Structure 1
Amino acid sequence: MKGYLYLFIAIFGELIATSSLKASQGFSKLVPSLIVIIGYGTAFYFLSLSLKYIPLGISYAIWSGVGTALTAIIGYWFWKESLNIAQLIGIILIIAGVVLLNLSKNASA
């Protein structure tokens, strides 16, 4: 369970950092740029801690998949970016893939 807590913190850090990239305007704004640096530092640190408990492939798939799906949703809600049906299906498939990876890991354990 500890590994998944670390992974959740890593995902949260990555979401904050990635969302702040747009606000940094190419690293020309100081505060959003600092948030990006701190967020990614936090994300990679806690991702590395999660690897003590969760296999690399599973950990990275969850981190990148959930991060990608949630970043697309954040872009839609906060940045008013478009989200068409094909993109929504892609997000659903990413989430389904993450669930399948976790289920298959538990079944083989």
Structure 2
Amino acid sequence: MAFDIAVKRVYEPPAASDGQRVLVDRVWPRGMTKEKAALTLWLRDIAPSDALRKWFDHKPERWDEFQARYHEELSGRQEPLSELASLLEHGRVTLLYGAHEERFNNAVALADYLRKQA
């Protein structure tokens, strides 16, 4: 079964096409209100560990290693993964992140992980 997953920066306006909106950052995005975020769920426990997040620092040259380490962390996080999987059973889920970097962030890595598990 293929999941319908999108990835979007939380600061972009919500759209009907987003489906269920899930924030996947450990830290609440600076300057964002709950109303503007229009979240279905905040899954902070699915985010990379603080140590991994700080090591990565959104540096493209660390991307491959970050993904490998994050995917390893994810394999031990069954509860938040199950929550996400149950949302995906009902249609599109948009993974939201706060970082400026659009290509190299934890939401992109998480979407990749979920697609590989499908």
Larger Rg: 1
Q: Of Structure 1 and Structure 2, which has the larger fraction of its residues in helix?
A: 1
Say which structure, 1 or 2, has more relative contact order (CA 8 Å, 6+ apart): 2
TM-score by length of 2: 0.28
Q: Of Structure 1 and Structure 2, which has the larger fraction of its residues in strand?
A: 2
